[in-house]
Amino acid sequence: MAEQPWNAAGVAKIRPRIGRWDVAENGEVSLVGTRCTSCGESFFPERRVCGRCRSEATEEIRLKGPARLDSYTVVHQLPAGFAAPLAIGYAALGGDVLVLAPIDAAPDLLRVGMPLALRVGVTRIDDDGEPMTSYRFAPTGA
């Protein structure tokens, strides 16, 4: 039987859209982003219209590590499905695209400016019990 698109309460089940990623044969993770060919601004996740100049002339790009940590926090109070505490941060990918992701690192080691690599892992357990996989950061060489 086909899966119903709504839950028991009649609320539509919409999978969160956190953006796409690729894992190469050598294990290297890249994020699928968009570059505006009119003004040159790059975005992640993908978008159809440029957020800066509204042009629809865009191309697909791949964003790879290393990323540079721009800001971070260790979150202690979290919704159901997460394991607390959770380190998250913004890191600059491809030079100038800020991406937010969980960080696999001991909180004491986190420093603004530190280099990070992309990886993929389970970030939380969804309402329906399914693990949600996402892109994550980890210190380079970890």
Rule CB under 8 A: which residues touch other proteins? 14-19, 41, 43, 45, 51-52, 70-79, 82, 85-86, 88-90, 92, 95-96, 98, 100-102, 107, 112-113, 123-124, 132, 134
Nearer CB in complex with other proteins: 24/39: 39
Residue recorded with tokens 């990070």:
116
State in angstroms the smallest separation of the CB of 94 from other proteins. Answer: 11
Separation CA 121–CA 136 (nearest Å): 7
Find the shortest distance in angstroms from Cβ 27 to other proteins. Answer: 21
Closer CB to other proteins, 92 or 138, in the complex: 92
Query: Which of 27, 113 has the CB closer to other proteins?
Result: 113
Rg (CA), the chain: 17
Which tokens go with 77? 């109070």
In Å, how far are 86, 97, 110 from 74, measured between CA atoms? 5, 22, 10
Contact 138, 113 (CB under 8 A): no
Phi then psi dihedrals of residue 131, to 5 deg: -70, 135
Structure-block tokens of residue 32: 């699928």
Task: Name the minimum Å distance from CB 25 to other proteins.
Answer: 26
The CB-of-26 to other proteins minimum distance in angstroms stands at 25
CB closer to other proteins out of 107 and 131: 107
